[in-house]
Amino acid sequence: MDNVSLSLITALGMIIVALIPLFYWRRLTNLKFRWFCLGAGLWFVSVELKSIFASLYDETIIGFLSANLPELLSGAAGGLYIGIRSSFFEIGLTLLAVLIWKQLGRNSERAIGIGIGAGSFEALLLGLGVLFGAVVYFAGLPGAEEVRVALDSPAELTTLFFLIGPAERSLTIPVHVASRALIILGVAKKKALMVFLGFLIFTLLDGVAGAAHVFGLVGEISLWWIQLAVLPFALLSIPLIIWCYKKWRENGACGHETRICDE
pLDDT (0 to 100) of residue 216: 84
Express each pLDDT in 66-119 by its tens digit. 999 998 899 999 999 999 999 999 999 999 999 999 899 999 999 999 999 999
pLDDT (0 to 100) of residue 252: 39
User: Residue ranges per domain, the chain?
Assistant: 3-248
Region for residue 256 given its phi and psi (left: phi exceeds 0; alpha: psi -120 to 50; beta: otherwise): beta
Note whether 171 and 21 are within 8 A (CB): no
pTM of the complete model beyond 0.85: yes
Query: What ranges in 69-191 are assigned the alpha helix state H?
Result: 71-100, 108-138, 144-155, 164-188
Rg of the chain over all Cα atoms, to the nearest angstrom: 19
Q: C-alpha distances in angstroms, 50 versus 25, 47, 92?
A: 28, 5, 11
Residues of the chain below pLDDT 70: 1, 251-263
